[in-house]
Amino acid sequence: MEGLPVAVAIGLGAIGPGIGIGLIAAKAMEAIGRNPEAAPKIQTNMILGMAFAEAIAIYALVIALILKFV
Amino acid sequence: MDSLHVSISAETLFKIGPLAVTNSILSGSIVTFLLVALCVYFGSMKKQLAPRGFQNLLESILELLYNMTKDVAGDTKARLFFPMIATSFLYILLNNWSGLIPGNGTITIMKNENSEGHSSSLVPQAVAANETHGEVMEVINDEHSSETMMEEEAIDEEVGASEEERHIGKIPLFRAATADLNTTLALALISVFLTQYWGVRYLGLGYFKKFFNFTAGPIFTFVGILELVSEFAKIISFAFRLFGNVFAGEVLLVVIAALSPKFFPIIPLPFYGLEVFVGFIQALVFAMLSLVFINMATISHDEH
C-alpha cells in the first residue's frame, strides 16, 4: 500500500494532459486534412503545444518521483 | 525499484570553502567551457564568403534561430533579443544532450560519507544497473517454484543491495545540469527578470501599469493582481517544466534499462531516441516561451 499515493499522483495527473494531447493531435490532423500544404508548420506547432500539455503530466511525475524516492 | 539509484537533487562531489561542487555543476561547467571554446574558435576562424563545412553548419544553426526570433519579434527587436534566446537554447540543448552521453550516471566515484566529502577518492566503478541485474539473475537461478516467490525474493535482494550501496556511498560523477532544479531555476529567473527589464526599457514605468492599475476600475485592479501572480507562476513553470522533463527522462532510461533483460540490450534504444527528441523540444520550448513572453512585455497594452 505504500506505493498507492505514488500511483494515484501520476495516474490522476496523467488524465488531463492525456485529454489535452489528444485534442491537440485531433485538431492538428483536421487542419492538415483541410490544408495539406501547411503540414510542416502545423506539425511544429502541434509538437510545441503537446510539449506544454505534457509539462503538466511532468509536474505530476515529479511529485510522484519525490514521493517515491525522497 | 528502490535499488535503482535515483536522487532528485544533485550530489556533492567535493567542497571548495562553503561552495559545494555537485556533479551537475561539473557537467554544466564542462558544457559551458565547450560552448565558450566553440564560440572563441568560431570567432577567430578565417571565414569564407561562401560558407562550407563547419562554418556552414554553425551559420545555418544561427540563421535558423535568428529567423525564429525574427518571426516572433520582428526585425528590430530580434536583434536585441537574439543573443539571449540563442544562448539559452544552445546551453539548454547541450546540457540536455550531455545527460544522454553513455557514461553519464554510470561512472561513479566512491565517497566516504563520514568525512563530509573532503576525501573522495576518484575510483571509477562498474555500472550499477548491471550489478543489480546480475543479482536478480542469480536469485532466479535459485530453486524456487512459483514465479511470484522469485520476484519477491528478487525485490528483497535488490533492497538489500541498495542499502549496501548507500552505505558505501557511490555517487555519479556526471549529471546533466538541467536535471538539477538549481540550474533550471536560475535559467527561469534570468528569463523572467529579463522580461521585466525589456518591458521597462520599451514602455518605461508604464510597464508596471499592467500590474498596478487602480484607475480603470476594480476589474482591472483584479486583473493586475492576476498578472502579478502569473509572473511568479512563470518562474515555477519554467523551472519545473525543464527539470521535470530532463530528470524524468533520466529516470525513464534507468528504469527501462533495469527492466529489460541483460541479453537483449536494444530495448532502451527507442526511449533513448525519445529522450534526444525531448531534449531538443524542451530547449526549443524554453527559448520560444521566453521569446514570446519578452515580446509580449514590450508591447503596450493599448496597442493590441
- What pTM was computed for the model? 0.77
B285–A51 C-beta distance less than 8 A: yes
User: What are the Cα distances from residue B104, in Å, to B14, B17, B91, B180, B223?
Assistant: 18, 26, 18, 14, 46
Complex prediction ipTM:
0.77
CB contact under 8 A, B285 and A68: no
**pLDDT score, position B123:** 39
CA B55 → CA A59, B38, B43, B48, distances in Å?
Answer: 40, 11, 10, 8
pLDDT score of B3: 61
Residue bearing the bigger pLDDT, B105 or A31: A31
Partners of residue B1 in chain A, C-beta under 8 Å: 68
Pairing status of strand B19-22 against strand B170-172: unpaired
Residue ranges of chain B whose pLDDT lies below 70: 1-5, 112-168, 301-304
Predicted confidence at residue B102, as pLDDT, reads: 85
DSSP state of A14: T
Task: Give the cell for residue B221.
Answer: 485592479
Closest residue on chain A to B282 (Cα):
A51
The more confident residue out of B146 and A63 is: A63
Q: Quick one: DSSP state of residue A38?
A: G
What pLDDT was estimated at residue B110? 79
Which residues in chain B (239-258) have CB-CB distances under 8 A to chain A? Answer: 240-241, 243-245, 247-248, 251
Distance of CA B31 to the CA centre of its chain: 12
Q: Which of B1, B6, B282 sits opposite A51 (nearest CB)?
A: B282
The pLDDT of residue B224 is: 87
Q: Do A62 and B7 touch (CB under 8 A)?
A: no
pLDDT of residue B92: 95
Count of CB atoms situated within 10 Å of the CB of A4: 9
Q: How far does the CA of residue B124 sit from the closest CA of chain A (Å)?
A: 25
State the Cα–Cα distance between residues A57 and A50, nearest whole angstrom.
Answer: 11
